[in-house]
């Protein structure tokens, strides 16, 4: 039996965009205001909980670029919290279908990332590695806000790839 080669490919974590108006993302090159202040993507919410203002999940999301010949087998998230009352509640990978009428959820990891950090953790793996040739892959983090003064700072995001 051949074991697939594993590699971590770091993506631009500053590319995540808010899923609705209750979430804001920002960047401060001098200090994130969390922990030792190392810069990163700063995520804040103007509302409490994990439901977006218009309904649905409160998320930040980005589309992924995966090199040819590789499949996605998980996500590595490096982050720090100002308080463990506000945290990443869910990591999700969804693949846009062809035709693009919907996106099929292929990884839905509901492990609560509540360690203040700084810390890096790996998501669970999907049932089978995700083949990017069959459709665009979207990565989202569901946010649960316990206090509107809290911040989540994402310091790095890596794709766990296999050949």
Is the pLDDT at 48 greater than 80, yes or no?
yes
Domain-by-domain residue ranges, the chain? 6-162
CB atoms within 10 A of CB 56: 11
Q: Looking at the DSSP assignment, which residues form a beta bridge with residue 141? A: 60, 91
Mean pLDDT of 122-126: 97
Question: Is residue 1 predicted with pLDDT exceeding 50?
Answer: no
| Pick from 65, 127, 58, 132: nearest CA to 89 | 58
Q: Is the pLDDT of residue 57 over 50?
A: yes
Q: Provide the pLDDT for residue 3.
A: 52
User: 74 vs 47, 83, 93, CA distance in Å?
Assistant: 29, 26, 9
- At residue 54, the pLDDT reads 86
At 4 the pLDDT is 65
Check whether 111 has a pLDDT greater than 60.
yes
* Residues recorded for the chain: 163
Give the whole-number percent of the chain exceeding pLDDT 70: 97
- pLDDT higher than 60, residue 2: no
Chain segment 66-100, per-residue pLDDT in tens: 999 999 999 999 999 999 999 999 999 999 998 88
Q: Which of 27, 99, 93, 21 is nearest to 61 (CA)?
A: 93
The CA distances from residue 161 to 63, 79, 82, 110, in Å, are 16, 20, 30, 20
Which residue has 């590789």 as its token pair?
70
Q: 6-162, which class in CATH?
A: mainly beta
């Amino acid at each position: 039996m051949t074991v697939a080669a594993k590699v971590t490919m770091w993506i631009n974590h500053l590319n995540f965009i808010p899923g609705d108006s209750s979430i804001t993302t920002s960047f401060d090159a001098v200090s994130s205001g969390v922990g030792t202040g190392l810069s990163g993507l700063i995520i804040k919410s103007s509302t409490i909980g994990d439901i977006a203002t218009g309904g649905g999940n409160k998320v930040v999301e980005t589309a992924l670029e995966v090199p040819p010949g590789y499949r996605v087998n998980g996500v590595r998230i490096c982050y720090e919290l100002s308080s463990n009352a506000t945290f990443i509640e869910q990591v999700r990978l969804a693949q846009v279908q062809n035709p693009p009428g919907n996106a099929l959820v292929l990884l839905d990891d509901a492990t609560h990332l509540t360690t203040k950090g700084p810390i890096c953790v790996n998501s669970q793996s999907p049932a089978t590695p995700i083949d990017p040739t069959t459709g665009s892959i979207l990565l989202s983090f569901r946010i649960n806000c316990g206090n509107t003064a809290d911040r989540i700072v994402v310091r790095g995001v890596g794709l766990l790839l296999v050949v």
